[in-house]
């Protein structure tokens, strides 16, 4: 008998921000990295996004490069301590809809799998908190318990596609009966591969991809959670350029 699975992205899909950003803030708070690095390299991009004059993905990509550079040479014990603080203080800051879907899948005996671009040491802790079956994040490589600056990414659609292939083989998953939940272009292959795709608070770029993909647009559910209301939208929703 083949297995039904549910694949979840984390940042923007479950968690209402970025786990990497939260960890970056904790490293600054504990004076492990210098705050001026953020002000000199990412502040302007963040301010542009915060004023809705720039792209959040641009801010995250810039911050990701800065984050990796800042972690280089840090001891694993230090990284584990600060990442534990992130999970302890922030892991409940999630979308109510997504949390309820995770519980629904677990109660129905499905394999619940997190596939996220966030660092693997954060993804693993998040997966443990929510009792999911398995997970995979961007792999941060350590040598002698020190981060050596090498990252094997899991934030792009190609990497997530390969991850799904591995999980299908590992758990004998029937993708036609399975589910996927994502919010950005990096999740498009997850949505394409399953019989029950769900786009949660999708970006404009992901909506455009869905609209131009005949297979996904026929079966996708688009969900937007704002404040205490969950909206379900048609895949041919109008996208406005402002």
138 in Cβ contact with 64 (< 8 Å)? no
Q: Is the pLDDT of residue 79 over 80?
A: yes
Q: How far is CA 143 from CA 55, 69, 79, 84, 177, in A?
A: 35, 16, 14, 21, 41
**Distance (Å, whole) CA 18 – CA 78:** 20
User: Does the residue 241 lie in any domain?
Assistant: no
Which pLDDT tens digit goes with each residue over 140-151?
Answer: 999 999 999 999
User: Does the residue 240 lie in any domain?
Assistant: no
User: Does the residue 242 lie in any domain?
Assistant: no
| pLDDT bracket for residue 90 (50, 70, 90) | very high
| pLDDT bracket for residue 38 (50, 70, 90) | low
Residues near 121 by beta carbon (within 8 Å), at least 6 away in sequence: 79, 80, 83, 137, 140
User: Does the residue 85 lie in any domain?
Assistant: yes
DSSP string computed for 214-239: HHHHHH-EEEEEETTEEEEE-TT---
Mean pLDDT of the chain: 89
Count of domains for the chain:
1
Q: At 133, is the secondary structure helix, strand, or coil? A: coil
Which pLDDT tens digit goes with each residue over 194-226?
Answer: 999 999 999 888 888 898 888 898 899 999 999
The pair of three-digit structure tokens given for residue 54, joined into one six-digit string: 């720039």
Q: Is the pTM of this model over 0.75?
A: yes
Q: State the residue range of the domain holding 219.
A: 5-233
**Distance (Å, whole) CA 193 – CA 180:** 8
Place of tokens 């671009």: 117
User: Does the residue 238 lie in any domain?
Assistant: no
Nearest Cα to 12, choosing from 235, 223, 192?
A: 223
pLDDT at position 69 is 87
CATH code of 177's domain: 3.40.50.1000
Q: Is the pLDDT of residue 237 over 80?
A: no
**Distance (Å, whole) CA 24 – CA 35:** 10
pLDDT at position 57 is 66
198 in Cβ contact with 223 (< 8 Å)? yes
Q: Is the pLDDT of residue 240 over 70?
A: no
Residues near 208 by beta carbon (within 8 Å), at least 6 away in sequence: 239
Q: How far apart are the first and last CA of the chain?
A: 50
User: Does the residue 239 lie in any domain?
Assistant: no
Q: Is the pLDDT of residue 236 over 90?
A: no
Q: Is the pLDDT of residue 36 over 80?
A: no
Q: Is the pLDDT of residue 46 over 70?
A: no
């Amino acid at each position: 008998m083949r297995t039904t699975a549910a694949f979840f992205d984390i940042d923007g899909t479950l968690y209402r921000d970025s786990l990497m950003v939260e960890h970056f803030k904790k490293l600054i708070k504990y004076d492990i990295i210098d705050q001026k690095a953020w002000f000199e390299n990412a502040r302007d991009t963040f301010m542009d996004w915060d004023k809705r004059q720039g792209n959040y993905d641009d801010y995250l990509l810039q911050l990701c490069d800065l984050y990796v550079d800042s972690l280089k040479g840090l001891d694993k014990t230090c990284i584990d301590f600060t990442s534990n603080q992130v999970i302890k203080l922030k892991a409940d800051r999630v979308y109510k809809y997504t949390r309820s879907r995770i519980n629904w899948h677990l109660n129905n005996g499905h394999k619940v799998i997190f596939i996220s671009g966030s660092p693997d040491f954060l993804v693993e802790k998040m997966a443990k908190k929510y009792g999911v079956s398995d997970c995979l994040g961007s792999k941060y490589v350590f040598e002698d318990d020190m981060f050596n600056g090498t990252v094997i990414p899991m934030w792009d659609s190609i990497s997530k596609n390969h991850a799904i292939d591995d999980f299908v083989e590992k758990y004998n998953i029937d993708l036609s009966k399975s589910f996927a939940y994502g919010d950005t272009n990096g999740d498009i292959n997850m949505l394409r591969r399953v019989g029950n795709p769900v786009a949660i608070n999708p970006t404009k770029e992901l909506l455009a991809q869905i609209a131009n993909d005949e297979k996904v647009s026929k079966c996708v559910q688009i969900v937007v959670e704002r404040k205490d209301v969950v909206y379900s939208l048609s895949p041919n929703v109008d996208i406005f350029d402002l």
